[in-house]
A and B are shown apart, each in its own frame.
Chain A
Amino acid sequence: MNKVIEENKKEKEVKSVVKEEAPSLDDVFLADNDDSINLVPILSKSEIVQEKKKVKLNIGSILSIIIFLTITIIIVLFSTISKIQVQKAQSELSKQEAEVKQLSSVILSNEEILRRIYLYQDISSNQYSARKIFEYFTQIASNLGDIELDQFDFQSVKSVSFEGKCPSLDDLAKFWYLLSEDELVSRVSLEQFNKLDSVVKFEFKITMKEGNFSTNLDEKKE
């Protein structure tokens, strides 16, 4: 019995010696192994890393929450201020609309006058002087001598056709040439001609350059 107790004691002693001699895994890394006595328990390296991680994690979390809250506050404020501004502006606009609507009779009267002014402008922009056109082409014809123009059809400010007669085809050709070379004429078309004895009858269709025979407001005032 005593033997058994002694053996157990020995085993315990060996184990305690082994334990004392073999420090923990972490202690291995921390211990300086200089056999000095450290009264303050030193943190193991992994414990230090863990602690550092915890601190970093906490600062990171706080920063994230602050940023998140800041963004939230900014967005909410931005939205709310915008809404308030819109509401305020709308109420001001309604007041302005009411004020202007009181003047609607002036607006309507102004529109009535404008409609008439635009009508006048539309009509007058297409007006032309038949006299000017008539006299211009009659002058060209009379410069050649015996050419007589006896019918005019004024289609528009740019288009006129006229009929006439001359003694020979030569005269007709000269007249045609003069018309085609004229600076106010953009296109000449000899629609038809007939030679009967000593008279050549012809019909020209002329397209004139714009603006040369139109009447303008200043002329109308006179």
Chain B
Amino acid sequence: MALPNMQKTVRKQEGISEKIKNTRLKIKDLIIPIIVSMILLFISIFVFIPMLKEAFNYRTELKEIKSKQEQLIKLKQSIESISEDQLNDDLIEVKSVIPRTLKVASFLYYIDELARLKNLTSDKISASDVNIGIVDKNKQQDSNQYKGVNGPLAYRGSLENILNFLDNFYYSSPYIVSPQNISLTKSAELWEVELSLTGYYVSEEENLVVNIYKPFKPYTDFADVMEILKEKSKKLNAPVK
């Protein structure tokens, strides 16, 4: 009876050690999970990630398109808010004040006429075409976009007349003018004014291409400036007294 019990104990121990051996992780147990993991990793890298990237690119593109669509809707609304007939009329008037080319003779005529009205005598009049670039960073205007007729002028007269003449440069001239380097000198009882005067014009651009995505601002937003330019246009078109 003792022998079978001993044998049982021995076999139990052997069984336990066998079981422990079986529970140990073997390399062959890891082969399939590693292969499956590798396949998944490759699929992720070469299929999923590019597909997701592409999908996100589409989303970004879609957002851009939507924003462009909104921009175009706003642009269309803004354009439709402008009366085309009114626009053409305003364009003609504004172009007469700031033309595509400014004739020196016309320009000097108004200045000289103003001086004559103020009882000033001319000492010196000359004019020449110059390029005048105005760079406005806020409006992103190109340099050399505006041109001007520029020349030194000199008049003599009473102080009051001279000052009136200078004030009326801005108000009375139908063209857009800008005096620079104004010098006022007293000689005997009279005063002499010397200045460099520029009359501006906008040169015509060739091959104008419409950029519909450029921010659109209707000219009607500048009603105050338009009013001034229209008044100038009326003066310009009024018969010379």
Q: Which residues on the B side are within 8 Å of A89 (C-beta)?
A: 62, 65-66, 69
Q: Which residues on the A side are within 8 Å of B19 (C-beta)?
A: 45-46
**Interface presence of B106 (CB below 8 A):** no
- In the complex with contacts A28-B15, A114-B219, A131-B166, A150-B185 CB distance below 8 A: yes
| B82 and A116 within 8 A (CB) | no
**Interface presence of A62 (CB below 8 A):** no
| Interface residues in A84-106 (C-beta closer than 8 Å to B) | 85-86, 89-90, 92-93, 96-97, 99-101, 103-104, 106
Interface residues on B, range: 35 or more
| A120 and B18 within 8 A (CB) | no
Could you count the A-B residue pairs with CB atoms below 8 Å apart for me: how many are there? 195
- In the complex with contacts A68-B40, A220-B228, A119-B210 CB distance below 8 A: no
Q: Which residues on the B side are within 8 Å of A45 (C-beta)?
A: 19
| A116 and B98 within 8 A (CB) | yes
Minimum CB–CB distance for B180 against chain A, Å:
8
Complex CA distance for A28 and B210, rounded to whole angstroms: 94
Q: Which residues on the A side are within 8 Å of B219 (C-beta)?
A: 110, 113-114, 117
Q: Which residues on the A side are within 8 Å of B225 (C-beta)?
A: 117, 120-121, 217
Interface residues contributed by chain A, number (CB under 8 Å): 66
Say whether chain B's binding surface is mostly helix, strand, loop, or mixed. Answer: helix
Complex CA distance for A127 and B217, rounded to whole angstroms: 25
| Interface residues in B164-221 (C-beta closer than 8 Å to A) | 164, 166-167, 170-171, 176, 178-179, 181-186, 200, 202, 208, 210, 212, 216-219
| B134 and A122 within 8 A (CB) | yes
**Interface presence of A134 (CB below 8 A):** yes
**Interface presence of A83 (CB below 8 A):** yes
Choose among A110, A131, A135 the residue with the greatest number of B CB atoms under 10 Å from its CB: A110
**Interface presence of B97 (CB below 8 A):** yes
| A82 and B212 within 8 A (CB) | no
| B11 and A28 within 8 A (CB) | yes
**Interface presence of B104 (CB below 8 A):** no
| B82 and A110 within 8 A (CB) | yes
| Interface residues in B52-67 (C-beta closer than 8 Å to A) | 52, 54-55, 58-59, 61-62, 65-66
- Name the CB-closest residue of B to A68: B40
- Among B40, B72, B222, contact of A93 (Cβ-Cβ < 8 Å): B72
- Among A22, A93, A116, A220, contact of B202 (Cβ-Cβ < 8 Å): A116
| A151 and B186 within 8 A (CB) | yes
| A86 and B65 within 8 A (CB) | yes
Q: Which residues on the B side are within 8 Å of A90 (C-beta)?
A: 65
Besides A25-B18, A46-B19, 11 more A-B contacts (Cβ < 8 Å) are: A29-B15, A83-B55, A115-B202, A117-B219, A119-B134, A119-B176, A126-B178, A129-B166, A129-B167, A134-B184, A153-B181
Q: What are 24 inter-chain pairs, A to B, with CB distance below 8 A?
A: A22-B4, A25-B18, A28-B12, A46-B22, A68-B40, A76-B51, A79-B51, A93-B72, A96-B72, A104-B210, A106-B84, A107-B79, A110-B82, A112-B94, A113-B226, A115-B145, A116-B229, A119-B176, A120-B229, A127-B170, A130-B166, A130-B184, A155-B181, A220-B170
Which residues does A use to contact B, with CB under 8 Å?
21-22, 25-26, 28-29, 45-46, 68, 71-72, 75-76, 78-79, 82-83, 85-86, 89-90, 92-93, 96-97, 99-101, 103-104, 106-110, 112-124, 126-127, 129-131, 134-135, 150-155, 215, 217, 220-222
